[in-house]
Structure 1
Amino acid sequence: MSNPRKRGRVLKSIPELSFAIEDTPHLRVASLSADGRRVKERRIDFTPPSPVKHRGSRLQVEQFTNFQDDIAMPGANEINNSDDELDDTEDVPARRSNVADNPLAEFKGKIFDYLKEFMQLEGRGSELRPCLCGQTEEAVYRCRDCSSGRLSCKPCLLKEHRCRPFHYVEMWNGAFFQRTTLKQLGLKIQLGHPQGHMCLMPQSSRSGFVVVDIDSIQEVDVQFCMCQEPEHVGEHWQQLIRYELFPATTHQPHTAFTFRLLRFFHTLTLQGKVTAYDFYYAIHKRTDGVDLGDLKNRYEAFTRVIRLWRHLKILKRGGMGNMAESSLQSIKRGGLAVRCLACPNPAVNLPDDWQLAASSQSFIYRKFIAVDACFRLKRRLISSEEQDPGLGTGYTYFVPQDEYRPFQKNSGEQKEVSHCLSDLAAISQANTKYSKGYATTGVVLCICARHEVVEPNGAVDLDKGEKYALTDYAISASQTLSDECLTRVLCYDIACQYHRNFFRRIPNLPDSVQMPVYEDRWEFAVPKLHIRGHGVDCQQNFSLHLQKGMGQSDGEGSERHWGNEGPVATSTREMGPGHRRDTIDDHFQSYSHQKRIGLGDLLGRRLYEAEKQEKVHAEEFTRFCESQQEHVAEWTKSVADWENGVSKDNPYVVPDLGDTEKDVRLAYAQAEAEEARKGVSALHEISPSAFMEMMLEIEEEQQLLLLDLRSQSYSTVHQKTELISRRARLHRAIGRIRNLQKVYTPLVLTATSLDLTNSSSEPELINILLPSDLEQSLLSNPEMKSWVEMELKFRRGQLRSSLHKVRSHVFIRRGLHQKRSMDVRGQRESTKARKQLARNDEMLNESKQRFQKAWNAAKALLGGRDDLIGYPYLTDDDVRPLEDPDLEVKRNVRKMKGTQFQEEQRKLLVPGESRKTTSWIWNQFDAEGDSSSMHAAIRLEWMKARARSLRWKEEVLLLKEEMRRTKVSLEHEAQEWLSRAAADTERNAISEGTTAYALRQAAIQRGLSTKFQAIWDKKRPEKKRKETSSAVPNDGSDSDSEEGDL
């Protein structure tokens, strides 16, 4: 859509530049007559220039006044002022619309011309002349794959296509172009000899030999060489391979697929997740879109060949082509998997004395792993392990099945009780995860948490839900392939529960995958996004923000990985078990490879951002420390003791400094029991505190009944009966209260103007006459003082307990929403999920209204002083989940990126502004509002500021170490390839190929190292110069995924 036409720009006149000209530019030339008695003057007019452009207004006056004409003419400097000046202003036409404003507008006007050109291509066009060869044979053939579209005679066409035997050829039949094949025209493909050489004993292929190319399926005439010894020229399938045709069978092949086709599909399916079915039948339709011909269907052969192609590529990239044939039988578990370059590997990229590093530096040698399950990667009850065992299961990412399948079968049901506030589906549905009709319900995967490279042997199939035993298998099988001395950080969305009994479960695994158990070398954390759905206890003990040595790891790499691999489920769910594992292994391999080659940009970008944020947060923390100098030493010691394991008291856990309702009730019961022990007589068998509790319970029952009346119609007989019963119980309870009020608070009954004898009102609307319901004049009476104090204590307890319930139901609501969006499928499950959400919302609303009622009552008891309550009033906007301020800021920055200036981004990132996204309900500690509560709040904020500063400092150190390890790993792999090249001492065609491949791979590894170093050397200075010299937005996190947000 083009921009609306703008008004012309108004420009000031030339006189405003300090001089004026007449209406028409001219010169006055004076000369003497021949007799010297008269002066002749004549005027020379010039053609006016085009209207002054916008850029002309930027010229300085001096540029005009200093102007010297190249031609000296009499009177040239006599530019006279005139009354006929130019107008003060003139309208300059608006900018002419650009084709780029609406690129289709110009095309639309010529669409019929385009159509005519298309129609011309259906005929011979202007090529109505003999073939260029000059022979008499008519030029009636053309190739649709050759871009010229030139007509040729038959001999010329065959000559031109000796090296292009699979092109799409057409013949003019006198009326239109009709498709034909090069085989029908007599083209033969000779194998076993260089192009142009003749075979003395050619053997034609079987009739109907089909070749599938990238844009056609056609029969060809293949000539196998029989004039040489088989040891030299090879068998038929070998001759095809050397011509870059992959045979569908080894014995007497009659179908082959071009390498070009297989390369293209392999790349396309890895990048775009295109299925083999869609790809093959797209070629089928391109060959014969109306199915008029007898086109051979080779789909099953294609799926078989592409599976072999994938497997061979994995073997080749793993260096197996440079080994002896016997080495294929001795491939170790995970031996062909792509390894992470930046993760610690003592045998490859760590210094010899890495274990002697100081405790303050040892965190840079940690191995971060993340584990998660994907339930999209299901497999139906199709085929079996016996019929389809897989070509390379165990070589890369899926564990070997010979030991895993018996273990999976005998793992039994999981009996775990969740201690987390969140509704963790991994626990609640561990035994019931949509298994009907499926042999496999999903995959558990272990990956490198910081760089998202899949861990070797880190994938296992699930038969139902996300059972601990199967997750244990994936973790242990992958970690037995790395050094046992490394300290590991396990990021898991249920780590708060999963870590319980983790070290007791590992010995139950098979010996071959059982890793050594060193409890002091394992740490557990919940990923940053998932932890927002956990309770406060989890956020205080399993947060990556708070744990020492975590840097800015977010632990969410597995989620990003599933976002890439999820679409593969479209095709793999219908495969046999082995075919499915081979396919998913190939996608895991490709994903890991892309992460490897992107490490240069990723680490460079992260380091630039980390160094910038480290400075910002260090300055913020320094200012905080300066304002709390008297407490810094004490606070530092408490948090350092906890981080170093000296103390088990988590300093981020703020104790509840106030009393709950139960605490208040217990305190009054103890006081009344003490009075009874001393012989103080009671006014009634129901104690004063019990009397107050009864009134509060009746008030709460009234509120619940009012809520039910608003949400229900009570139209059925059963509902009406229930309503009558509830109201009758309330009436009787209010009657008992009135009798007790005559004993304890007769002043209230005599002073109130309410008609206490009228029982016709609905009981939910009757005023109970609690002290908070009375006027201030009555509350000031000395007889009411003890009752006011008692109700205020109970109200404070209600505020604390209600706020706790509000928090709990907000957490539960978030978890239910996530569960419904990610796991719930089908009408029955959706209905059940909606009911759970509705019930939780009802309970949340009840707790919110209970808090509001208690807050209003406390305000009345305090004489209207809401500042003495200690809590703000709870609004609907306050009832929202706990947000991570950093993530919220980054989310906003990402929205603004490319559309706002850097000044606006800087305003968004003002320290402290991001905390406004967090509701006050997560920052309240004590309703009393005293100094101890304020001290606890300040201490917690100081520790959070310290944690932010330290995490960014750690991130800088981690990234620098990861950069070093990446370069060392690349050089190590280059040396391995060079050693493979040197080990091959034979002199034949195969040896030359293996040596060339090894040398090329070594060059690639060193090329990546050079490229990475160049990125790291130049990216940061360029970023800094850009930041100081340009207003272009630059927030340092220029990625489209969460990996740039660490």
Structure 2
Amino acid sequence: MRGIRPRQQTLRPVQPSTFWRHFASCAPSQNINVQDYVRTLEKLTDSTGLEKVPDRRVAFGRMARQYSYLKMMKRGGRGHEANGIVTTPPGALAVRCWACPDASRNLPSGWDKVPESKAYLYKLMLAFDANFRLKNKLRAGERMDPALTDGLGYLPRSGPYKEHIKTLVDEKDVQACAAFAALLQKETKLTTGLRRRTNEDNGRGYRRDIHQVDRIRLQYGLPVWHAEAHDPKCRIQFALRYLLGVGKTDGESTERLWSLLNPASWSTKEMGEGARHDVLEDKIDLINFEKNRSMGQLRRLIVAVAERQRQGIEFQELDDSVPKKKRREWAKMMDAWYKDNTQTNPFEVQGGKLAGPSEREISEELKRAEVEDARAGIKPLLEGKMTITAFIRAGMQLQAIQRRIRTALKAKKSADQASQIQELRLSLIKQMRTFEKLQLTYMPGVQGLRDAAV
């Protein structure tokens, strides 16, 4: 052992580009910012903190932004164009949705000449929403931090966007919002103002401008989740679930985008305008790519086809149970309302509150109908201890007890609560046995179903 020297380990230096690529891969998917990443590298260099490690945060941040910018240009194919970077048109770097209809990519010839009944197949659906979580502090030195991808991807160009906002802001808005005051160069404290890239005022301008586009037919609708917060009459009139040509579209695609972008808001709100712009562009770029990649999964198509068949069978059974005369009346009302929405809305419940008649009102109506049928001799009187309406209510009460037991079982239980659940179960069993005997009277075919199930 005396003549053996310890083996020396030589650490291979890592190229700076390795860190850029690693950071560019982690930042959009893991919401990592430059400061935290560089601090991690410093800890790896000297975990004790006893040595002075040069601060490379600013330089690394600039290089990382340039690296992401050049990668977007490369993916956008700008290297194949003469003066590709300089001549990049607005929005050219955005990853396009493969499913959205585009006459230059995925629409058949003659798509614009199809009959009205088939026009929904080529309808472009756009969602518009405001996000107040992705706020950004106003900075005094914003002019020194321009965005590299200004207007080339998903977000609009900063200059024209601000000019557009100025046309929609009145003095009342300026007094209420420091961001508007700063935009119009009013006196304000920059540190207290907040900038929102998308806001409701811009929504008014968007709607006004888009009406001026020729050859575009617009149809407005409320997303399924947001519609519940609107006035009932507004909801019934504009809810997506009642509009033609939208199918099961819920209109909440922007909410899914916000759920992926909002975790980055805690760091982007501290960035300058340009850095924040580039970070959001990079993040949205990844989200769009992942969305396109997931569209080709065969599992979703298999589930959709099976679900379509099941829903079709159930709908046909329900449709067959409706009298033909009543079905024709409903169809006539729907056709009239779709042609002119000032007509009677077939989706609005008539009578009572907008939520419809109460259980008590329905019960009273059934009792009156049962008495009238008995007087007229339309149906034979059953030899039971209760009316048919009371029998139905008894079944609904049993279902309510079952739901109570299921809900109680999911929660944490004390000894007393567990005892109460057992008492509920015992009471349910007794009532079920009584109800099963009544079924033989009020549901004559139930015995055959029981025998077949054995």
Determine whether 1:389 maps to 2:146: yes
Deviation string 1:875-931 (CA, Å, 9 cap, x unpaired) is: xxxxxxxxxxxxxxxxx9xx9xxxxxxxxxxxxxxxxxxxxxxxxxxxxxxxxxxxx
- Post-superposition CA distance 1:483-508 (Å, at most 9, x none): xxxxxxxxxxxxxxxxxxx4xx227x
**Structure 1 residue aligned with 2:112:** 355
1:11-38 alpha-carbon deviations (Å, 9 max, x no partner):
xxxxxxxxxxxxxxxxxxxxxxxxxxxx
C-alpha deviation, 1:600, in angstroms: 0.6
| 2:227 counterpart of 1:531 | yes
Question: In structure 2, what is the Cα distance between the partners aligned to 1:542 and 1:430?
Answer: 32
Residue of structure 1 equivalent to 2:403:
none
Larger Rg: 1
The yes-or-no answer on 1:621 pairing with 2:301 is no
Q: Is the Cα contact below 8 Å between 1:333 and 1:396 reproduced in 2?
A: yes
For residue 89 of structure 2, what is the amino acid of its counterpart? K
Task: Tell me which amino acid in the other structure corresponds to 2:100.
Answer: C
Q: Distance in 2 between matches of 1:645 and 1:610?
A: 33
The CA distance in 1 between the partners of 2:40 and 2:165, in whole Å, is 40
Report if the CA contact (8 A) 1:377-1:442 is conserved.
Answer: yes
Match of 1:545 in 2: 241
Counterparts of 2:174 and 2:221, CA distance in 1:
21
Task: Look up the match of 2:135.
Answer: 378
Q: Which residue of 2 aligns with 1:521?
A: 217
Q: Which residue of 2 aligns with 1:901?
A: none
Given that residues 94 and 154 in structure 2 are in contact (C-alpha distance below 8 angstroms), is that contact kept between their aligned partners in structure 1?
Answer: yes
Q: Quote the Cα distance in structure 1 between the aligned partners of 2:132 and 2:61.
A: 24
Comparing both structures, which one devotes a greater share of its residues to strand?
1
Equivalent AA in structure 2 for residue 533 of structure 1: A
CA RMSD, Structure 1 to Structure 2 (Å): 3.6
| Secondary structure of residue in 2 paired with 1:363 | helix
SS of residue matched to 1:399: coil
Match of 1:372, SS state, is: coil
Contact 1:433 1:441 in 2 (8 A): no
Alpha-carbon separation, structure 2, partners of 1:269 and 1:287: 21
2:65 to 293, 307, 310: 307
Find out whether 1:443 has 2:170 as its counterpart: no
CA distance in 2, matches of 1:346, 1:412: 37
Post-superposition offset of 1:562: 0.7
Alpha-carbon distance between aligned partners in 2 of 1:438 and 1:318, rounded to the nearest angstrom? 38
Residue 271 (structure 1) aligns with: 29
Distance of 2:305 and 2:171 partners within structure 1:
45
Q: Identify if the C-alpha distance between structure 1 residues 280 and 128 changes in structure 2 by more than 3 Å, giving closer, same or farther.
A: farther
The yes-or-no answer on 1:341 pairing with 2:98 is yes
Aligned to 2:209: 506
Correspondence for 2:302: 608
Count of residue correspondences: 358
As a proportion of its length, which structure holds more helix? 2
Alignment of 1:909-924 (within 5 A): none
Contact kept in structure 2, 1:430 and 1:467, CA below 8 Å: no
Structure 1 residue 533: Cα displacement: 2.5
Q: Contact between 2:268 and 2:276, CA under 8 Å: does it hold in 1? A: yes
- 1:946-979 superposed Cα distances (whole Å, 9 cap, x missing partner): xxxxxxxxxxxxxxxxxxxxxxxxxxxxxxxxxx
1:584 Cα shift? 0.9
User: Does the 8 A contact of 2:337 with 2:343 survive in 1?
Assistant: yes
Q: How does 1:546-625 map to 2 (within 5 A)?
A: 546-601=242-297, 604-625=298-319
Measure the CA separation in 2 of the matches of 1:348 and 1:522: 22
Q: Flag the 1:372–1:128 CA change in 2: closer, same or farther, 3 A.
A: farther
Q: Tell me if structure 2 keeps the 8 A contact 1:129–1:139.
A: no
Asked if the contact 1:320/1:328 (under 8 Å) is kept, the reply is yes
Distance of aligned partners of 1:129 and 1:590 in 2 relative to their CA distance in 1, 3 Å threshold: farther
Match of 2:74 in 1: 316
The 1:559–1:565 alpha-carbon spacing in structure 2 relative to 1, beyond 3 Å, is same
Kindly state the Cα deviation for residue 646 of structure 1 after the two structures are TM-superposed: 8.5
Q: Note if contact 2:177-2:193 (Cα within 8 Å) is conserved in structure 1.
A: no
Task: Show the counterpart of 1:142.
Answer: 9
Give the secondary-structure state (helix, strand or coil) at the position aligned to 1:141. Answer: coil
Q: What amino acid does structure 1 have at the position aligned with 2:233?
A: D
Q: Residues 11-410 of structure 1: matches in 2 within 5 Å?
A: 130=4, 138-143=5-10, 165-166=12-13, 213=14, 257=16, 259-324=17-82, 326-410=83-167
Q: Secondary structure at the match of 2:126?
A: strand
Q: Secondary structure at the match of 1:374?
A: coil
Seen in structure 2, the aligned counterparts of structure 1 residues 515 and 401 have a Cα distance that, compared at 3 Å, is: farther
Q: Distance in 1 between matches of 2:291 and 2:174?
A: 31
Q: What does 1:450-489 correspond to in 2, within 5 Å? A: 466-468=199-201, 470-472=202-204
**Contact 2:178 2:194 survives alignment (8 Å):** no
> Do the aligned partners of residues 866 and 611 (structure 1) sit closer, same or farther apart at CA in structure 2, a change above 3 Å counting?
closer
- Alignment deviations for residues 423-470 of structure 1 (CA, whole Å, 9 cap, x no partner): xxxxxx9995796845543332xxxxxxxxxxxxxxxxxxxxx333x1
- Quote the sequence identity (%): 27
Residues 410, 362 of structure 1: CA spacing in aligned structure 2 closer, same or farther, 3 A cutoff? closer
> Residues 402, 381 of structure 1: CA spacing in aligned structure 2 closer, same or farther, 3 A cutoff?
closer
Where does residue 434 of structure 2 map in the other structure?
A: none
5 Å-filtered alignment, 1:812-831, equals none
Match of 2:335 in 1: 640
Conserved? CA contact 1:544–1:553, under 8 Å: yes
Q: Which amino acid aligns with 2:20?
A: L
Ranges in structure 1 where 5+ consecutive residues have no aligned partner: 1-126, 131-137, 146-164, 167-212, 214-244, 246-256, 416-428, 445-465, 477-501, 508-513, 657-799, 808-850, 859-863, 873-891, 896-1046
> Which amino acid is 2:71 matched to?
K
Change (3 A) 1:366 1:384: farther
- Decide whether aligned partners of structure 1 residues 433 and 649 sit closer, same or farther in structure 2, where only a CA change above 3 A counts: farther
TM-aligned CA deviation for residue 313 of structure 1: 0.9
Q: Using the TM superposition, give the Cα deviation of residue 141 of structure 1 relative to its aligned residue in structure 2, in angstroms.
A: 1.8
2 CA distance for matches of 1:866 and 1:600? 52
**1:392 positional shift:** 1.8
Please report how far the alpha carbon of residue 585 of structure 1 lies from its aligned counterpart in structure 2 after TM superposition. 0.9
Counterpart residue number, 1:978: none
Assess, with a 3 A threshold, how the Cα gap between structure 1 residues 433 and 364 changes in structure 2: closer, same or farther: farther
Alpha-carbon offset, residue 407 of structure 1: 2.1
Provide the C-alpha distance between the structure 2 equivalents of 1:128 and 1:302, rounded to a whole number of angstroms: 47
Gaps of 5+ in 2: 180-188, 369-389, 391-406, 411-454
User: Are the aligned partners of 1:378 and 1:438 in contact in 2 as well (CA < 8 Å)?
Assistant: no
- CA distance, structure 2, for counterparts of residue 343 and residue 388 of structure 1: 34
The Cα of 1:341 is off from its aligned counterpart by: 1.0
Q: Secondary structure at the match of 1:529?
A: helix
Secondary structure of 2:121's aligned partner:
helix
Q: Distance in 2 between matches of 1:637 and 1:362?
A: 21
Query: Secondary structure of the residue that 1:621 maps to in structure 2?
Result: helix
Question: Cα distance, 1:359 vs. partner?
Answer: 2.0
Distance 1:865 1:347, change over 3 A: closer
Distance 2:318 2:48 in 1: 76
> Residues 317 and 383 from structure 1, CA distance in 2 versus in 1: closer, same or farther, beyond 3 angstroms?
farther
Q: TM-score, normalized by length of structure 1?
A: 0.32
Amino acid at match of 2:315: F
User: 1:648, 1:430 → 2: CA distance?
Assistant: 42
Deviation of the 1:378 alpha carbon: 1.5
Equivalent residue of 2:72, what SS? helix
CA distance in 2, matches of 1:291, 1:553: 55
**How far off its partner does 1:618 sit?**
2.6
Give the direction of change, closer, same or farther, for the CA distance of 1:546–1:386 in structure 2 (3 Å limit): same
SS in structure 2 of the partner of residue 344 of structure 1: coil
1:331, 1:395 within 8 Å by CA — same for their partners in 2?
Answer: yes
- Look up the equivalent residue of 2:222 and give its one-letter code: V
